[in-house]
Structure 1
Amino acid sequence: MKKNISFLKKPILIFLMGPTCSGKTKLAIDLSRHFPMEIISVDSGLIYKEINIGTAKPTIKELSQVPHHLINIKDPNEYYSAGEFRRDALKKIKEILEVGKVPVLVGGTMLYFNVLNKGIAVLPSANNEVRNFLLKKTKRFGYKYLHNFLKLVDPDLSFRLHPNDIQRILRGLEVFLLTGRKISELQKSTISNFPYEVIQFSIFFSKKKELKQRIKLRLNHMMELGFENEVRNLFLRKNLNINSPAIRRIGYYQMWSYIEGKITYKDMIEKIMFATYQLAKHQITWLKKWKNLHWIDNFDQNLSINKILDVFHIKNFF
């Protein structure tokens, strides 16, 4: 018989993490058949409306199988900070628990997982003057300038951010220029209020070649689904450009450059492949440093589900 100690326990929720193309969404949906749960997306791409094929957004059928949250909440030209994510995710977690379900947070945006679990620092508000100064420098020297600048002033943050993550690179530089301090220093004095017990899982690839193969298959599938037409429709919007938050994402940036005639079709495909693989490697590096993580092999879906269920039931019992 299960011990009646629920009044002593923190509510339990699940983190399901993993690199891009690892099958997180499918695993989460399959998991929903085993206990009442709802999914909170932890993906900085899925927040955007009209950004579907290139982010492998869950299909209408998948969305109907289990409730999803924090998907399609922003226009492609709107910024969405890690602080906003934390606020929205905490609200959704509370709502899901109140109806007696388990929140399962699924995605590969490691920064979001980090600020949710560990808290977030009190940082200065956005400053358009500083932001415009940095953007002018970018127009002159290119986007690599921003990441290289960040390496000089905040090496820890530059390591955690992909070079294409312009929004957060800009924010890191903005904070440094406004305060003279690194975000990584300011985050050591975070405001944290996360009253939940988290069971953390991450998918990994036991066969290294499979990651590249998955990336290639996903890109082929994206093109078959009409990824180019999706981006061309975005291209027609007068309020979007290559520097818009959603367009800076891997896949969209390269396709936009191709549509503008800046690169060839072959170059576009190769650049998407390379950038996606670099992102996956970056995610894997971060996950290897994550504490209290249960690793699950994507090679065997049933084995992965059984492992999640075993750990979940043990935690629920004690």
Structure 2
Amino acid sequence: MNSKPQVICLMGPTASGKTALAIELAQQFPCDIISVDSALIYKEMDIGTAKPDAQELQLAPHALIDILDPKESYSAADFRKDAIELIEKSHAKGRIPVLVGGTMMYFKALIEGLSPLPAADEEIRLQIAKEAEKLGWEVLHGHLSEIDPTSAARIHPNDPQRLSRALEVYRISGKSLTELTATKSEPLPYEFLQFAIVPEDRKILHQRIAERFQLMLDQGFVDEVRALMARGDLNLDMPSMRCVGYRQCWQYLEGEFDEQQMFDKGVAATRQLAKRQITWLRSWPDLTWLNTGDKKNLYQIVKSIN
């Protein structure tokens, strides 16, 4: 028997039934639910993020929900720090931490650790942007090929954000991105029980996504986005407004397309998100797969707990 304290990770694409299963688990065991979702962290964004409602939160409180204003940003490193603190508190109370969500980068940062990359330097970023304007990104990509051929092979010359970051890291630290990312944090002293819940038939997931988006509209999603726009301090380049559905609804309110197009584009963006999440999960090690709606899912998780 593994003597390490256990942490349950319940992953899955959007609309796969993660929240309902987590709440069901919390009814049976002394669990503390920790949200692993880069959209649920934001206040004033309840409907479009499918945030658990008051009744669900009463049944099973979720940590890391409603912790930031939409104008703020939150990194994978921020999540890792907060999650470890919450896991430790849960274990200290003799309870089981249950991490639930679909932000795979957060799960990866927690379980595999993070590389010691330097913080952003606005002055160096501005310098790189000026060089790109003068010389072109192709030339800067050539510079990256000289200092970090591995990153250059992975980063397309037409991807200025990642290309700029790779150059910035080298100029700040004197080490390549490849060299630094080879170093990870010390492994955490937990046994991670990792589960992924996904419908066996992709059509079912697509149907659930469309139905949920329509439900959001019925619940007042457009008014929620209208209120966010009215604040005057948010824009579509912010991480909060890049959440699926919000961008499409914002563009609809600005008159870029009609309501039906907004619905179609919102559903399409959500389906693309789900596809990316499933792609991540397919390459995930040590994963137990669960089928959405299967009554044995709870048993599958419970039998793994020491």
Q: Same fold (TM over 0.5)?
A: yes
Give 1:21's aligned residue: 15
Instruction: Indicate conservation of the 8 Å contact 1:154/1:184, yes or no.
Output: no
Q: Cα distance, 1:286 vs. partner?
A: 0.8
Q: Cα distance, 1:128 vs. partner?
A: 2.4
Q: Cα distance, 1:67 vs. partner?
A: 2.5
Q: 2:165 aligns with which of 145, 151, 175?
A: 175
Give 2:104's aligned residue: 110
Give 1:123's aligned residue: 117
**CA 56–136 in structure 1, closer or farther in 2 if over 3 Å, else same:** farther
Unaligned runs of 5+ in 2: 132-149
**CA 183–71 in structure 1, closer or farther in 2 if over 3 Å, else same:** farther
Query: How many residues in Structure 1 have an aligned counterpart in Structure 2?
Result: 284
Aligned AA (1:114): K
Residues 197-226 of structure 1 deviation map (CA, whole Å, 9 limit, x = unaligned) = 010000021122101100110001000100
Q: 2:51 aligns with which of 57, 61, 84?
A: 57
Which runs of structure 1 show a deviation greater than 4 angstroms over 4 or more consecutive aligned residues?
Answer: 130-137, 152-158, 180-185
Equivalents in 2 of 1:275, 1:22: separation in Å?
16
Instruction: Indicate conservation of the 8 Å contact 1:154/1:183, yes or no.
Output: no
Q: 2:274 aligns with which of 276, 280, 303?
A: 280
Q: Secondary structure at the match of 1:213?
A: helix
Q: 2:236 aligns with which of 242, 249, 258?
A: 242
Give 1:310's aligned residue: 303
Equivalents in 1 of 2:111, 2:79: separation in Å?
12
Q: Cα distance, 1:51 vs. partner?
A: 1.0
- Measured on the aligned residues, the alpha-carbon RMSD in Å equals 2.7
2:216 aligned with 1:222: yes
Equivalents in 2 of 1:94, 1:157: separation in Å?
37
Q: Cα distance, 1:289 vs. partner?
A: 0.6
Give 1:268's aligned residue: 262
Equivalents in 1 of 2:47, 2:269: separation in Å?
17
Q: Cα distance, 1:61 vs. partner?
A: 1.0
Equivalents in 2 of 1:157, 1:269: separation in Å?
33
Equivalents in 2 of 1:188, 1:133: separation in Å?
27
2:291 aligned with 1:297: yes
The TM-score, its normalising length taken from structure 2, stands at 0.85
Instruction: Indicate conservation of the 8 Å contact 2:23/2:60, yes or no.
Output: yes
Aligned AA (2:5): P
Q: Cα distance, 1:270 vs. partner?
A: 1.3
Aligned AA (1:56): A
Q: Cα distance, 1:177 vs. partner?
A: 2.2
Q: Secondary structure at the match of 1:239?
A: coil
Aligned AA (1:87): K
Q: Cα distance, 1:134 vs. partner?
A: 8.6
Alignment of 1:3-152 (within 5 A): 9-129=3-123
Instruction: Indicate conservation of the 8 Å contact 2:155/2:163, yes or no.
Output: no
Give 2:138's aligned residue: none
Give 1:149's aligned residue: none
State which structure, 1 or 2, has the greater radius of gyration over its C-alpha atoms: 2
Give 1:197's aligned residue: 191
Instruction: Indicate conservation of the 8 Å contact 2:13/2:102, yes or no.
Output: yes
Aligned-pair identity (%)? 45
Q: Secondary structure at the match of 2:28?
A: coil
Instruction: Indicate conservation of the 8 Å contact 2:42/2:65, yes or no.
Output: yes
The TM-score, its normalising length taken from structure 1, stands at 0.82
Aligned AA (1:86): R
Q: Cα distance, 1:68 vs. partner?
A: 1.2
Equivalents in 1 of 2:254, 2:124: separation in Å?
29
Residues 88-110 of structure 1 deviation map (CA, whole Å, 9 limit, x = unaligned) = 00000001111111000000000
Q: Secondary structure at the match of 1:233?
A: helix
Equivalents in 1 of 2:209, 2:124: separation in Å?
37
Q: Cα distance, 1:185 vs. partner?
A: 5.3
